[in-house]
Structure 1
Amino acid sequence: MKISYDGKRFFNNSSGLGNYSRDLVRIVATYFPENDYVLINENQTEKGKEIVALPQVSFVETSKGSWSRQLKMGKDAQLINADIFHGLSGELPLIWKESPIKKIVTIHDLIFMRFPQYYSFFDRKIHFWKFKKAVEQADLIIAISDQTKRDIIQYLKVPEEKIRVIYQGCHHAFKENQSEEFLTSTKEKYNLPKRFILNVGTIEERKNLLNIVKAINGTKIPLVVIGKKTKYFNKVKKYLVKNKLENQVQFLENVSIEELAAIYKLADLFVYPSLFEGFGIPVIEALFSETPVITSNVSCLPEAGGPDAAYIDPTNFEDIKAKISFLWNNESERKRRARKGVQFVQKFKDESIAKEMMNAYQSLLKN
């Protein structure tokens, strides 16, 4: 079987859709090396170089010309006799030859429909048009959570039988046991507190960092935040200054994936009060890191967090404060939830996801 992929996010995105693309190709190529996996893009970059180096993974340059991804990538996949084309980020090429090829698209979320206020009118229209065209063309749609599946049915009017839920995993660094030396050196490098709570993700309104900051106001609990700053950061900063909390909250950027995995392990708690997610990869990362999780009781987050995460109303900072205080002061309960969380998160291991994705590929070719 020859499976081709839209390689744009694989080669060009450092997080989010890029991580999903690289992890997916890596795990199916690792667990099912009998197939050929071909990444198609305008060019290669350093990102994912170690995956393309696998003997069963190769790169094909898209035919030259404007709009090549939309107009030529699909035909390029057919020219190399691929059995399947998989669009990894909600899009499929618009033009195809008559020769047979099965088309799959992964839809991560429809946040632009649920929270239109975070997007311009133009962006909403473009996103909707791309997603609608993709699901119409696709022989199979992969949703990364039951929440996303429900949204695809509701907003894109897709029949349920055309959708299969296959969860995301996370980078293998979070599943490895870093040495004590590395943990210590990471702690020293970033001058981390002896004990702290952690938040990871883009600092934007939907991720709701301000309510964590409000929750720790009046406590002495240190907070470490790792994520790219947006305009919303200014709102958070204003609150920190007004309430003299600047020394209680530490912001980190440009942290390597190995260091990030170490910081998860060093944290007492991971707090993620997002208002909405397609899946919530940081929750999975924390669970693999044996760090207890406090997260929102909305969207897909209970799917990712499992029965032993602590759930909060993300709009109620007093609820967040109560859960943080309870777990911060209760070591035995933290350990219990961490232990149970590791058991639950095994369903997101590479091998399980690879098998589910390969079953999807194989079943599609049988039809």
Structure 2
Amino acid sequence: MRIGFDAKRAFNNYSGLGNYSRYIISNICRFYPENECFLYTPKIVDAELFNEPAGTIIGKPGGFWKKSGSLWRTFRLTQQLNKDAIDLYHGLSNELPYGIQKSRAKSVITIHDLIFMEHPELYKSINRNIYEKKVRSGTRVASRVIAASEQTKQDIIRFLNVDESRIRVVYQGCHRQFYSRVSEETMQNTHQRFALPSEYLLYVGTIEERKNLLKIVQALHHGNFDFPLVVVGRKTAYFNQVKQFIERTGLSNVYFLDQVQASDLPAIYQGSSGFIYPSSYEGFGIPVLEALNSGVPVITSRGGCLEETAGKGGLLIDPTDQEEMIHAIRQVLETSALRDRLIREGGAHALKFREEQTIPSLYNVYLECMHD
């Protein structure tokens, strides 16, 4: 089978969608080497970001289209799929190229979340309209729709009116680097490079409103915790609200780490006393899975997909209830029996998301499409 992948984010995105794309492409090629895999991207900005699997073929625009890579990806790629005799094309990030339903290729689209429809107030109207047009078009013409969680599946049905018979839930996984303990030397070097405290609570994720970092620092302040919080994530305008609160209240033990590489994360997770991720809405919540695999107790939000991801390895809270958050932080930091249970049950739950489970599930969806 000739499989084409939307590889734009695999080659050019350092966070969630990029991680997912690299995970899927690498593992499909590793588990099913009998296939020919084509990776389509309008450009490659950082050649070191993704070491594509051996034998894959990279497709990029040529001629006039070199200057209009985004237009090539949307409006010209279907023609390239026909030229390359692609049997199945997987849109890894909420969209498919225009006209793909008229090509010879079957198509699969992954929908990670519909945050822009659930919380439209968080997006500029022009961006929201573009996102909605892409997901409506893609889910309408795709042979199968992959949902990143049961929560996302229900959102697809609710917002996009997609027939449930065409939707398959295939969970995401995280990088294999989180499966093993780092060496003591690596742990010490990481602590020294980032000047980490000896003990800390950890948050990893984009610093944006729906992920509720401000609520975390407010809980630490009002709960009178004398315990450091380490924050890893890209800053948005919301960061200023967090910074202003810290400065106004005199909190002195919140550490914002810069220039953190993906390879640094296992040691940062494993060095923490607990991981907190009280997001109001997610499509899956990869940082929660990374924490579970790192042997760290997790505090996260009740309901939605984060409850799916954390399983019994998460202490679940209402992110808008400050007292509940304070109580959960205190429990994780002070109750060793609870910590041990969360770590044990979280580690067992995380096995559900290993590639030995997720990749065959995804490949079965590919085969379904080919047998339609």
Task: Tell me whether the two structures share a fold, i.e. TM-score over 0.5.
Answer: yes
Distance (whole Å) between structure 1 residues aligned to residue 26 and residue 36 of structure 2 = 12
Q: What amino acid sits opposite 2:312 in the alignment?
A: P
> 2:15 — aligned with what?
15
Contact 2:101/2:142 (CA < 8 Å) preserved in 1? no
Q: What amino acid sits opposite 1:71 in the alignment?
A: F
Q: For each residue in 1:147-183, what CA deviation from the matched residue of structure 2 results, as whole angstroms up to 9, or x when unmatched?
A: 1100110101100001000011011221132111101
Residue 229 of structure 2 corresponds to residue 223 of structure 1: yes
Contact 1:10/1:48 (CA < 8 Å) preserved in 2? no
Q: State the Cα distance separating 1:95 from its structure 2 match.
A: 2.7
Residue 267 of structure 2 corresponds to residue 262 of structure 1: yes
Q: Alignment partner of 1:300: what SS? A: helix
Tell me the number of residue pairs that the alignment of Structure 1 and Structure 2 aligns: 365
331-340 or 254-263: bigger deviation: 331-340
| Aligned mate of 2:290, from 285, 289, 294 | 285
> 2:202 — aligned with what?
198
Q: Alignment partner of 1:260: what SS? A: helix
Q: For each residue in 1:279-309, what CA deviation from the matched residue of structure 2 results, as whole angstroms up to 9, or x when unmatched?
A: 0000000000000100000321000000231
Distance (whole Å) between structure 2 residues aligned to residue 189 and residue 70 of structure 1 = 42
Considering only aligned residues, what root-mean-square deviation do their CA atoms show, in Å?
Answer: 1.4
Residue 239 of structure 2 corresponds to residue 240 of structure 1: no
> 1:358 — aligned with what?
363
Q: Alignment partner of 2:290: what SS? A: helix
Residue 49 of structure 2 corresponds to residue 43 of structure 1: no
Counterparts of residues 98-247 of structure 1 (less than 5 Å): 98-217=102-221, 218-245=224-251, 247=252
> 2:59 — aligned with what?
60
Q: What amino acid sits opposite 1:234 in the alignment?
A: N
Q: Alignment partner of 1:106: what SS? A: strand
Q: For each residue in 1:173-227, what CA deviation from the matched residue of structure 2 results, as whole angstroms up to 9, or x when unmatched?
A: 2113211110111111111111110001111100100111011111101100001
Runs of 4+ in structure 1 off by over 4 angstroms are 47-50, 96-99
User: Cα–Cα, structure 1 residues 24 and 48, in superposed 2: closer, same or farther, change >3 Å?
Assistant: farther
Q: Alignment partner of 1:264: what SS? A: helix
Q: What amino acid sits opposite 1:289 in the alignment?
A: S
Contact 1:6/1:88 (CA < 8 Å) preserved in 2? yes
Give TM-score, length-normalised by structure 1: 0.96
> 1:24 — aligned with what?
24
Q: What amino acid sits opposite 2:287 in the alignment?
A: P
Q: State the Cα distance separating 1:78 from its structure 2 match.
A: 1.7
> 1:276 — aligned with what?
281
Distance (whole Å) between structure 2 residues aligned to residue 366 and residue 97 of structure 1 = 16
Q: For each residue in 1:327-366, what CA deviation from the matched residue of structure 2 results, as whole angstroms up to 9, or x when unmatched?
A: 1012232122111111110011112111111111112111
Contact 1:273/1:296 (CA < 8 Å) preserved in 2? yes
Q: State the Cα distance separating 1:122 from its structure 2 match.
A: 1.3
Contact 1:287/1:293 (CA < 8 Å) preserved in 2? yes
Distance (whole Å) between structure 2 residues aligned to residue 31 and residue 187 of structure 1 = 36
Contact 1:199/1:223 (CA < 8 Å) preserved in 2? yes
Runs of 5+ unmatched residues, structure 2: none
Q: State the Cα distance separating 1:96 from its structure 2 match.
A: 4.2
Q: What amino acid sits opposite 1:18 in the alignment?
A: G
User: Cα–Cα, structure 1 residues 282 and 99, in superposed 2: closer, same or farther, change >3 Å?
Assistant: closer
Contact 1:211/1:316 (CA < 8 Å) preserved in 2? no
